[in-house]
Structure 1
Amino acid sequence: MELFSFFNSSASYRVRIALGLKGVPFEYHPVNIRTGEHRQAPYVGSLNPSASVPALKDGDFSLGQSLAIIDWLDAHSPEPRLIPLDPDARARVLELSYLIACDIHPVNNLRILKYLQDELRVTPAQKDAWYQHWIAEGMAATELLLLLAEKHYGGPWCFGKEPTLADCCLIPQIANAKRFGCDLSQYSLANAIYVHAMAHPAFIQAEPKNQPDHIAP
């Protein structure tokens, strides 16, 4: 198993958590998205046509997009399951995961921020305001979904006693928000899950600072 990853990529971070939770060994290949390695022909042509990270390669099979990768891992290494089999539980986990991965993350990823800065010429203050606005809107919705989940499933994870895909998505999003100086103090459930997760070996191992391509700020 080979993982093509960038240390600070939220999507890569999700997959590293999933691999750690499942105990799947992998070879780490850094892809520096800051210098455009993800857009070079060998990577795009053979691993990830969307020119993004991560990509997972298993023999002749390769796959991009973090949620698709984690779903594939669930099919091939089903224990522990990260996407429940029960239809209702599955839908709830996907609802929260999609909120983070489809609503919050895309408008704040590196290529969007670079476009704002390089093409639209927004100021650093305006770029920060953009980031913080979408984090606040998305995290408010996340907190409401976590409140609903707590009533039905309890804690200490997003959906009960074991981590799921939702935790794989939530923790990287919080980590990025913290890196950008967002005020997360009002999201008590999300913060409690984050604190709990950061004591778990799989989440510690997946942290950006613990990757071989980590670049100090």
Structure 2
Amino acid sequence: MKLVLHGYFRSGTSYRVRLALNWKGLAYETAVVNLVDGGQRAASYLARNPQGLVPALEADGRILTQSPAIIEWIEETWPERPLLPADPYQRARVRAFAAAIGCDIHPIQNLRVMKKLRADHGADQDGATAWARHWIETGFTALEVLAADAGGQGGFIFGDGPSLAEIYLLPQMFNARRFGVDLAAFPRLVAADEAARALPELAAAAPELQPDAV
């Protein structure tokens, strides 16, 4: 199956999908959508994703959008090296951890929200950064508690290897560092981030290693 990932190197949602693809050992092409230059609003891209958001995954010409749906499709299509545990209760816990990032933390500090804060609400760059840092710290405070009794081993949050929790955590940790979050208060999250990024497959998905990194 030919896979083409339309995304941007610094996009957290694109990063999630790269992590999932890499962990499953899937080959894919990269098609750059430059969010800074407005590539997401180009007619050619809107034909793939009318929302004008990244990523979009092209699979033998068929288009999938929204990173949670894309990652679920990857998990269901290639169940080897699973990102979700077999136990239904644990699956729900992993999904909840991921959703806390994907639904509650990331959306309110992504690029278009930050631009809106500056353009329409008088925030300067420092104010926008403080906004992002506040919501990351608030979310991480809860995630640190959730991770404390998740039963992970070897630094991972759930189980003894990466799960959907790390797939969502790594991009958010990248953003936390960009926005100057003091991570000393979140040792469990730091440990999971380090354990996952020590794996070559996941390390290769890092934003700075992508062809469009600047």
TM normalised by structure 2 equals 0.95
Q: Is the 8 A contact 1:57 1:63 kept in 2?
A: yes
| Local SS of the residue matching 1:181 | coil
Equivalent residue, structure 2, for 1:172:
171
| 1:56 corresponds to 2:19 | no
Match of 1:159 in 2: 158
**Which position in structure 1 is the counterpart of 2:193?**
194
Question: 1-side partners of 2:191 and 2:82: how far apart?
Answer: 22
**What RMSD, in angstroms, separates the aligned Cα atoms of the two structures?**
1.1
Equivalence map 1:10-21=2 (5 Å): 10-21=12-23
Is 1:41 the counterpart of 2:39? The answer is no
What is the percentage of aligned positions where both structures have the same residue? 42
Aligned residue identity for 2:177: K
Q: Write the letter of the residue equivalent to 1:174.
A: M
SS of the residue corresponding to residue 64 of structure 2 reads strand
Q: Which moved more, 1:3-12 or 1:74-83?
A: 74-83
Question: Residues of 2 paired with 1:70 and 1:142: CA distance?
Answer: 21
Say if 2:125 is the partner of 1:113. Answer: no
Q: 1:137 aligns to what?
A: 138
State whether residues 71 and 83 of structure 1, in contact with CA within 8 Å, keep that contact through their aligned partners in structure 2: no
- Stretch deviating more after TM superposition (9-18 or 127-136): 127-136
CA–CA distance in structure 2, aligned partners of residues 78 and 170 of structure 1: 21
In the TM superposition, what is the alpha-carbon distance from 1:145 to its structure 2 partner?
0.9
Whole-angstrom distance in 1 between the partners of 2:129 and 2:12: 18
Q: Distance in 2 between matches of 1:199 and 1:85?
A: 25
Distance across 2 between alignment mates of 1:102 and 1:173: 12
* Equivalent AA in structure 1 for residue 82 of structure 2: R
The answer to whether the 8 A contact 1:97-1:166 is kept is: yes
Report Cα offsets for 1:66-96 as digits up to 9, x if no partner.
1111100011111111123421111011000
Q: How many residues align?
A: 212
| Counterpart contact for 2:155–2:188, Cα < 8 Å | no
Misfit runs of 4+, over 2 Å: 83-86, 153-156
Q: Give the whole-Å Cα distance in 1 for the aligned partners of 2:80 and 2:105.
A: 28
Q: Secondary structure at the match of 1:57?
A: strand
Cα 1:85/1:44, change in 2 over 3 Å: farther
Deviation at 1:183, TM superposition (A): 0.9
In structure 2, the gaps of 5 or more residues are none
**SS of residue in 1 equivalent to 2:204:** helix
SS in 2 for 1:17: helix
Q: Distance in 1 between matches of 2:199 and 2:188?
A: 17
CA distance in 1, matches of 2:50, 2:149: 37
Matches of residues 199-214 of structure 1 in structure 2 within 5 Å? 199-214=198-213
Residue aligning to 1:184: 183
| Deviation for aligned residue 1:155 | 4.2
